[in-house]
Structure 1
Amino acid sequence: MADDRIPGIDPTAQPSGDGCADCLAGDGPGWWFHLRRCAECGHIGCCDSSPSQHGTKHARAAGHPFLTSFEPGEEWFWNIETDQYYEGPQLALPTAHPASQPTPGPRGKVPADWQLHLH
């Protein structure tokens, strides 16, 4: 049987939670615009438009090149080293935050002028 594993993507890695792990831990203002999932370890971070940009920061610090969306209805992989989109395997569920979670989120943490804080 051939090994179809893509280096930097672990389909069995579980998401670290429903929101940006770093924002929820108190690093930065505590809210995000969109969420990204590390395809290697499952770490959930905020997107590059978010104030803290934890998703890409994690990927670079950990040496994990692939991020994927953690937004409902989005299925793509982005390689931070090549700046290209890729197709990849189905990842362990869940593949998105709960639909009941607002975007931006989390509920109660997003400032009224949130658009002014995006990158």
Structure 2
Amino acid sequence: MSTPEVTDPIDPAAAPSGPGCADCDATSPQGWWFHLRRCAACGHVGCCDSSPGQHARAHATATGHPVVRSYEPGEGWFYDFTTDVTYRSGPDLAPPQHRPREQSAPGPADRVPADWRSRLHR
């Protein structure tokens, strides 16, 4: 693992779009997520590939923003969807660095179905 190259599409000043998956929050009925990923180019927060919506990957495909950073507390790794490479670290991004600690994972708690484990993508 290494640090992403300067040429990667990363904007350290881009603030996260919110505390949860912007796409899950925008659907009706609202969705839920397992873990969150933050676009390193524009700050869009989406759900991980294990989540039902897989919105972080969909955002990368739709926008051409391939690099995400984990948006989970205690994690600072980056991932590039186009190369399938995980990087241990990268540039400091605008705060906040992760979802609110009091927010559950999976979450949000009031939207997570009782059988959530069976709904994860593997």
TM-score over 0.5 for the pair = yes
Structure 2 counterpart SS, 1:115: helix
Aligned residues: 116
Deviations along 1:50-100, whole A, 9 cap, x unmatched? Answer: 001000100111000101100000011101111001231010000100000
Q: Identity percentage over the alignment? A: 59
The equivalent of 1:104 in structure 2 is 106
In 2, Cα distance between equivalents of 1:60 and 1:13: 19
In structure 2, runs of 5+ residues without a counterpart are: none
The equivalent of 1:88 in structure 2 is 90
Provide the aligned C-alpha RMSD in A. 1.5
Deviations along 1:21-41, whole A, 9 cap, x unmatched? Answer: 000001676100000000000
Runs of 4+ in 1 over 4 A off after TM superposition: none
- 1:14-93 alignment, distance < 5 Å: 14-26=15-27, 30-86=31-87, 87-93=89-95
Structure 1 counterpart SS, 2:111: coil
Structure 1 counterpart SS, 2:62: helix
In 1, Cα distance between equivalents of 2:97 and 2:77: 11
The equivalent of 1:114 in structure 2 is 116
Structure 1 counterpart SS, 2:110: coil
The amino acid of 1:13's aligned partner reads: A
Structure 2 counterpart SS, 1:37: strand
Relative to structure 2, which stretch is displaced further, 43-52 or 29-38?
A: 29-38
TM-score by length of 1: 0.92
Structure 2 counterpart SS, 1:108: helix
